[in-house]
Each structure stands twice: as structure tokens, then as C-alpha cells.
Amino acid sequence: MDGLIAPLLNGSAQGALLLLAALGLSLTFGQMGVINMAHGEFLMIGAFSAYLVQQVITASGLSIPVALPVAFVVAGLFGLLLEVTIIRWMYRRPLDTLLVTVGVGLILQQAALQIFPSQGVPVEKPRWLDGQLTILGYSWPMRQLFTILLATVCVAALSAWLKYTSFGRRIRATVHNRDLAETTGISTRGIDRLTFFVGSGLAGVAGVAASLIGGTNSQMGAQYIIPAFLVVAAGGIGQLKGTVIAAWAVGVALAFFAYWTTGSLAQVLAFILVIVFLQLRPQGLFTVRTRSLA
């Protein structure tokens, strides 16, 4: 039993982290069609925000709950800055945004390398995340449960926001038909900025979760960006539920492959699966009409 339960639980947590990294992309890439390669660096900004919060609030039990909204706002503001200064000029040129945001990502990495100790900084895990839950004989780290809960809360909040608030309705209207949305008086410029702020802010939240799992350093964002894009693509562009399912499936596949083979081979096998899936179903799990890409 242990042989199935450990990879299932750990894979779900791995999927949850992937989902957190991909959520923001499903907004900026999925809804707006912007290929933001600096998304991983926004994640890094979130992680460094958690470190900075811990310099002020030294009780680690309190600092992580505080760090989550702080990271959201800080990473969101960086995203907003990127949108206002660069992305807004390139909405009709997705390949150019790809090139430019790779450059922005490299600049952010180098800035972090200059500002913080080059080996990275420690982000202390709250004491209430110490310990394990015993589930069917497997001692499951509490931290894994935290990642899953955090991802669940973020998905619930985001979908409620998109569904029930006027902002959300305006975002959806803009995605479906920009010109018509404008004629009804929606400021699509404002909507673009807001979407980018929220999408980048979610990367910041993912960064806090990542800082509890791996190192917080200038290079940390790079390992999440491509898996996150693949997850969004496999889930179906512009579809939150597709992203959720794809992230979970990739996470669990990674964990089972890692259990049966090795960590290196698992990476290869899991992403071969994603690529084969995209070959068979290029539109992803679910589809929706958007103004681009789908």
C-alpha cells in the first residue's frame, strides 16, 4: 500500500506547486495570449519577498501567512510595471514578447544575484508545518499538505473572482471579444493591466510555496517556467479547470515515475507524456474561444 500512497500524495503536492506556478500563466498566457518568460522570475520575487518579510517578522509561524499577501502584491507590482512599460506595446506580437521577457527575466536574475547572497537565502518554514501526517502507513510531510491547501485556496479565489465579480466579468468579456467589450464601455487597457497584476501576483504566491520546498536564489524561477507553460497548454488555453487537472496529472505522473525509476528519468518520461498528449490533442484538455491562439 505504501508503494502507491506515497507517490500519490507526494505527486499531488508536486502538482499543486506546479499549479500555483501555472495559475498566473493561465491568466496572462491563457486569457491575454502574452508569453511571459519572466514569470519564473516573478516567482523568485515572491520567494525573496518571503525572506524579506522574515527579516521584519522573525516569528516564522506568523511570517509565512503575512508573506503570502506581501509576495502577491510585490510580484504583482513588478508585473504591472512590465505590462505598462513593455508588454502593452506588443499585444499583437506574441513572439516579440517572448524574446523581450526572456531578457527581462535575465535582468531580474542578475539583479537578485547582485542584491542577495549569491548562494541564496534561507526562508524558515513555520513550526506548525513541522512533522508528518500518517496516512495508511506513510508519514506524509505536513508541508506537502500546506502546498495543496494553498493551491486549492488560490484556485477557488481566482475562479470566484472571475465568475462573480464585475472585474471578472469584464476580463471574460475582454477575452471573448475585445472590440465589443470596448463599445460597451469597458476600459480594456485597465483590464489588461489588472489581469497582468493578478497573474504576476499569483506567481509571487507560488514563490512563497517554492521557498519552503527548494532554494531561494536568483536561479530558482528557471525550473518552473517551462513545466508551467506545458501544463497551461495541456490543460487548454484559457481554461482554469484544464490547468488544474493537467497540473495534478503531471505531478502524480512525475511522482510515480520517480518511484518506479529515478528522479532524472521521471522528468523525461512525464514530459514525453505531455508532448505526446499535445500531439494527439493540440487544443488541450478543454477549449474555449479566445481572441488568440485557441
Partner 1 sequence: MSSTRKRMRALVALGAIGTTMTLVLAGCGARAGDDAAGAGSSAAASCVDTSGDTIKLGFLNSLTGGMAISEKTVSDVLHMAADEINADGGILDKKIEYVQEDGATDWPTFAEKTEKLLTQDCVAAIFGGWTSSSRKAVKPVVEKFNGLFFYPVQYEGLESSPNIYYTGATTNQQIIPAMDFLAAEGVKTLFLAGSDYVFPRTANAIIKLYAAKLGIKIVGEEYVPLDKDDWTSQVAKIAAAKPDFIFNTINGSSNVGFIKAYYDAGLTPAKTPIISVSIAEEEAPAMGHEVTGNYASWNYFQSLKTDTNPEFIKNWKAYPNSSGVTSDPMEAAYISLYLYKALVEAAGSFDVDAVNAAAKAKPITFDAPEGKVTLDGENHHISKPGHIGRINADNQFDIVWASDKFIEPDPYLEGYDWFPADIRKQLTDAAG
Residues at the contact surface with partner 1, assessed by CB under 8 A: 2, 6-7, 10-11, 13-14, 17, 37, 98-99, 102, 106, 110, 113, 117-125, 129-132, 138-139, 141-144, 210, 212-220, 222-223, 225-226, 229, 254-255, 258-259, 262-264, 266-267
Question: Which of 72/229 has CB closer to partner 1?
Answer: 229
Nearer to partner 1, 37 or 247 (CB): 37
By C-beta, is 15 or 204 nearer to partner 1? 15
**C-beta of residue 244 within 8 angstroms of C-beta of residue 19:** yes
CA–CA separation, 283 and 293 (whole Å): 9
User: With respect to partner 1, which residue has the nearer C-beta, 13 or 80?
Assistant: 13
Q: Compute the least distance from the CB of residue 245 to partner 1, in Å.
A: 20
Residue 267 or 287: the one with the smaller Cβ distance to partner 1 is 267
Nearer to partner 1, 106 or 153 (CB): 106
In this structure, what C-alpha cell is assigned to residue 134? 500518517
Least distance in angstroms from the C-beta of 102 to partner 1: 4
Q: How far is the CB of 244 from partner 1 (least distance, A)?
A: 19
What is the residue-wise DSSP string for 197-262?
Answer: HHHHHHHHHHHHHHHTTS-BSTTTTHHHHHHHHHHHHHH-TT-HHHHHHHHHHHHHHHHHHHHHS-
Shortest Å distance, C-beta 177 to partner 1: 30
Residue whose C-alpha is closest to residue 90's, from 172, 27, 35, 26: 35
Q: Least distance from C-beta 214 to partner 1, angstroms?
A: 2
Query: How wide is the angle at C-alpha 20 spanned by C-alphas 18 and 22, nearest 5°?
Result: 65
Query: Which grid coordinates belong to 67?
Result: 508573506
User: Least CB distance from residue 59 to partner 1, whole Å?
Assistant: 15
Residue pair 52/216 in contact by the 8 Å Cβ criterion: no
Residues shown for the chain: 294
The span from the CA of 225 to the CA of 80, in Å, is 19
Query: 147, 21 in Cβ contact below 8 A?
Result: no
